[in-house]
Amino acid sequence: MPIARVHRLAASGPDDASGLEAAIQAGAIDPGGILAIFGKTEGNGCVNDFSRGFATQSLSLALARHIGPERAAEVCYVMSGGTEGAMSPHWTVFERVEGDGLAGPALAIGRVHTAALPAEALGRLGQVDQVAEAVRAAMRQAAIEDPEDVHFVQIKCPLLTNRRIGEAEARGVTVAVRDTLKSMGLSRGASSLGVAVALGEVPRSAVSDVVIGRDFSLWSARASASAGVELSHHEVVVLGRSAAWSGLITIDHAVMADAIDIEPVRAALARVGLPADGQLDPRQRSHLVALLAKAEASPDGELRGERHTMLDDSDISSTRHARAYVAGALGGLVGRSMIYVSGGAEHQGPPGGGPVAVIVER
């Protein structure tokens, strides 16, 4: 029976695979069982953030020395740039082993690499449909039959560059947007709507090219999408619970209605055995394996009726402000800075809010 194991490893930089190497050498991680690695890297999280590709290259080369380049390429590397505030750069390694652990339902993991996405499909229905099918395939791989048992879907999606736009136009097709920075939001949004369609949160008939990146009344409570220049396809990781898996690790999720709405996250922690009126105590923190969250600046320029300036700053992207702000709010709740907060939550939770997953050792 499959057992999911999750490891949190500190990183001194985007090229630091030493923690992964040490864990493999110590026998704490079987490199052949690694399904995915999520990373927080200290870049700017924008189009030109090469820390994501640097980290992917460093981790994949480290794994290739143990399992060969072909198997290392099968791992999903989801690198999220930006560790603003006190968020600590780190890797979260998801591993599958076989055995007889504590009876489930337990954390179940499925992962899929899609084909390359044509530039003209980015931010349009073609991307929605490709992601939806990938989510369904990852659910089957994870032995998750009921969409309600899916608690988080992490996607790494592509963006448009000037070169990709030029190649598309040379083929006689148009792209959804020529602004490369805006293409990140469209890609995240279309990917997230793909999750919503696959999980039955939004009917496919309600989605069109027109609503992507515009109608934010359509959203997923369990999608997390991060765009990057380092890939042209999607890497889709489904995290949920399944009775076909055993082990100590479980997962739940919550939706923040805005950037300081921590009470739903507190409730999710209580559901998985970590109730606390205030900040988690040291014993409880030792059982918190990972916290994954989305963050964005409220698009109406207000937070609970009070003005914020995140969208007016010409020097710093609003996604960077939001990551730091939400990471501070969630860090204060769980008493930890090594958490995964990704910026840009288009169609991921309600406007200004975002989904959160808590992964806990039972």
52 annotated as a binding-site residue: yes
350 annotated as a binding-site residue: yes
* In 221-287, beta strands by DSSP E: 223-228, 235-242, 249-256
C-alpha 235/C-alpha 221 separation (Å) is 19
Directed axis angle between helix 180-198 and helix 125-141, to 10°? 50
141 annotated as a binding-site residue: no
349 annotated as a binding-site residue: yes
127 annotated as a binding-site residue: no
Q: Which two tokens stand for residue 115?
A: 């084909």
- CA–CA distance from 221 to each of 122, 195, 328, 348 (Å)? 22, 9, 21, 6
The residue annotated as part of the active site, out of 51, 183, 226, 298, is 226
Instruction: Give the DSSP letter of residue 81.
Output: E
**Do 362 and 286 touch, CB atoms closer than 8 A?**
no
118 annotated as a binding-site residue: no
The residue annotated as part of the active site, out of 40, 51, 58, 156, is 156
227 annotated as a binding-site residue: yes
C-alpha 40/C-alpha 206 separation (Å) is 34
**Do 111 and 76 touch, CB atoms closer than 8 A?**
yes
342 annotated as a binding-site residue: yes
Among 238, 318, 204, 228, which Cα is nearest to 41's?
228
11 annotated as a binding-site residue: no
241 annotated as a binding-site residue: no
294 in catalytic set: no
343 annotated as a binding-site residue: yes
Q: Which two tokens stand for residue 189?
A: 């949004």
C-alpha 326/C-alpha 338 separation (Å) is 13
80 annotated as a binding-site residue: yes
171 annotated as a binding-site residue: no
CA 222 and chain centroid, separation: 10
156 in catalytic set: yes
> Within 10 Å of residue 133's Cβ, how many Cβ atoms?
16
> What is the set of active-site residues?
156, 226
Binding residues for substrate, by number, are 52, 80-81, 188, 226-227, 323, 342-343
Binding residues, by number, are 52, 80-81, 188, 226-227, 296, 323, 342-343, 345, 348-350, 353
Binding residues for Mg(2+), by number, are 296, 345, 348-350, 353
